Amino acid sequence: MTPFGHALRELRRRKGITQRELAKAIGVTPAYLSALEHGKRGRPTFELLQRIAGYFNVIWDEAEELFRLAEASHPKVVLDTAGLPPSYTGFANRLAQRIRSLPPDVIEEMDTLLKKAEMRG
């Protein structure tokens, strides 16, 4: 499940809406919505995000967070390490090979490190 899929499922749960009801209201099939929630489809379009936010009548901050989560929810990530030092390519490949077996605490530690690096600029 992607971060966006998790957020969408949580929105539906809080509002007591089924996938079938939401799918009909926003003009997609229940199968597509299920695949989107489970991370088996790519990021939703901006138009679809607007329909979802409108359907749930979310406040701007919550809609902005939903859009941000959608941006970070492509289930098949491609890393371009061309032109970077060999150690970067090696790291990207090791991560790709092992990501499914990493425990949640390791993922959290790595995410914290990435956030610290982003803050450095």
Q: Decide if 73 contacts 2 (C-beta within 8 A).
A: yes
59: left (phi over 0), alpha (psi -120 to 50) or beta: beta
Please give the pLDDT value at position 76. Answer: 76
pLDDT digits (tens, 9 = 90+) for 13-69: 999 999 999 999 999 999 999 999 998 887 888 999 999 999 999 888 888 988 988
Using DSSP, state whether 33 is helix, strand or coil: helix
Sequence spans of domains, the chain: 3-71, 86-120
In this structure, the chain runs to a length of 121
Full-model pTM: 0.66
CATH fold for domain 3-71: 434 Repressor (Amino-terminal Domain) (1.10.260)
What is the band of 104 on the pLDDT scale with cuts at 50, 70, 90? very high
Please give the pLDDT value at position 79. Answer: 87
CA distances to 13, 25, 41, 49, 109 from 19, rounded to whole Å, are 10, 10, 15, 15, 33
